[in-house]
Each structure stands twice: as C-alpha cells, then as structure tokens.
Structure 1
C-alpha cells in the first residue's frame, strides 16, 4: 500500500483528525459520498464529525495502483455495528493528497 494511503488509514483508525488533515495538500479536496470538503479547515472539521470518525476502516484489497495514486477497497465498520464496503480513491502528489474520493456501496 502506498505510504500516504497507509498514513491516512492509520490516522483514521486512531481517530486523529489533525493527522488525517495533514495527509492532504493545503487546498486538498475530500469527497465523502455526497459531501465535499475543500482545504484543511473544512477537511479537519468534516473528519472530526463523530459519524465520520466513529468508524474503523479495514483495507480488504488494493484495487488499483496508479502513478498518481491508489484505489483501495475497504470495509467501514461502525463501533459495535455491521460493516459495509467502500472505495477510497486517493490522488497522491509529492507525498500528499490533493484529492480523495470515498464512495460507499
């Protein structure tokens, strides 16, 4: 797994909104299904919401490796609940994420 994508997954599971935000470029974009967060302030705020960070993420498969990023198939599990699958698609440039697109099944 790309080290940047791994850092994001690790920070997510640690529920560390600051570390999650630092993975992104200053003008990074996070698309979380039907929500869009732009820039560090919005991303940090969005990732700090309990309905976002109240879940753990397990990587099931590295779906695609590209020169500019990586797509992961993950299982998202709410604390004490049934999980569901999603794709986390990261664009990676110079060790940071300018765009991440999360789509849920």
Structure 2
C-alpha cells in the first residue's frame, strides 16, 4: 500500500530506508525536538547522534502504513520498523509537528 506523506516526512522516510543520517536530518528544523520513547534530543547535533547510534546502528527502517492529521501542523504516521533490535519488527507511531515545510518536532512511541 502506498500512502501520500507531506514532503518533509516523505524525505525523512526515504532517507531512513537508505540509512542515510545526513538526509534523515535534512527535513528537521535546526532547533527541532525529537522524543524517542521518553528520551529527548534537541537540535541537529543531538538528533544526528540518535540517528547514528540507535537507528543506523540497529538498521531500523520504518515503513509507514497509515496516516492521519490531528490539525494543520500535526501528522501521525503508523507502521512497523524492521532491523537488528529485539522484537523486530515492532509497530511504531510517529507524531510529526510540521512548521514552515520542516519537521519542528517528532515523537516516536512503540
């Protein structure tokens, strides 16, 4: 199934499929906040470290299966992530806050 994602989210998902940290970071605002199961990462440096140490190291690739909008800024995307981590694949919910064609915040929960 193919779903239509807003451009910053589509860019992030495509980069994640390639495990490309630079491209994964590109859709995020410079001052973005990433909440990963209650761990908080602020700004590009901390988010890049998260991508390198936890996403790319585990080869964790997210596959969106469903999308819904909560309002004009928040987009919720759900689907499994596969990789080299316990319990793979696991279902995740990605809650993106978009602002000015960038990801301002992302909250990921399993």
TM-score (norm 1): 0.88
What corresponds to 2:31 in structure 1? 27
- Are 1:62 and 2:64 an aligned pair? no
What corresponds to 1:14 in structure 2? 18
Distance 1:14 1:65, change over 3 A: farther
**RMSD, aligned CA:** 1.7
What corresponds to 2:91 in structure 1? 85
What corresponds to 2:9 in structure 1? 5
SS of 1:25's partner is strand
Q: What is the distance in 2 between the residues matched to 1:46 and 1:8?
A: 14
Deviation for aligned residue 1:69: 2.8
Deviating runs (4+, > 3 A) in structure 1?
79-82
Answer 1 or 2: which has greater strand percent: 1
Aligned length: 103
Deviation for aligned residue 1:82: 3.5
Deviations along 1:41-83, whole A, 9 cap, x unmatched? 111111111x322111111111335311310011011159731
Structure 2 residues without counterparts, runs of 5 or longer: none
Structure 1 residues without counterparts, runs of 5 or longer: none
